[in-house]
């Protein structure tokens, strides 16, 4: 986690991954809850994260939505054809 814009209250969450053998056990949810809590403690008001949008990654997008993140932007073919960038944000107040 890092302050995205100094003094703006916006923090970017980067690189949270759960090993495939431990998925669907609530670990990712708990990690992100803890991270968002720490951001709040630091005075953060909003979290942003970026993930891939591609065939086979629909569960990830649904996961972020299920824990309160809102899809703000879907940049089609951002990385290369078939691999888009999806921006999610979450208000932390």
> How far, in Å, are 33, 58, 64, 84, 87 from residue 36 at the CA level?
5, 23, 13, 25, 16
**Which residue reads 């809850």 in tokens?**
33
Encode pLDDT of 21-80 as tens digits.
998 999 999 999 999 999 999 999 999 999 999 988 899 999 999 999 999 999 999 999
Radius of gyration of the chain (CA): 14
Joined together, the tokens standing for residue 6 give 């100094």
Q: How far apart are CA 29 and CA 63, in angstroms?
A: 8
pTM of the model: 0.86
Domain extent at residue 66: 2-91
Strand order, beta sheet including 2-5: 2-5, 10-12, 46-53, 83-91, 70-80
CATH code of the domain covering residue 17: 3.40.630.30
Domain count, the chain: 1
């Amino acid at each position: 986690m890092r302050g995205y814009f100094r003094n703006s209250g916006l923090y970017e969450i980067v690189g949270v991954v759960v090993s495939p053998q431990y998925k669907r056990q609530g670990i990712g949810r708990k990690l992100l809850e803890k991270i968002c809590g720490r951001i709040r403690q630091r005075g953060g008001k909003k979290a942003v994260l970026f993930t891939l949008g591609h065939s086979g990654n629909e569960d990830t997008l649904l996961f972020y939505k299920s824990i309160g993140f809102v899809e703000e932007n879907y940049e089609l073919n951002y990385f290369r054809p078939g691999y888009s960038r999806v921006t999610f944000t979450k208000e932390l107040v």
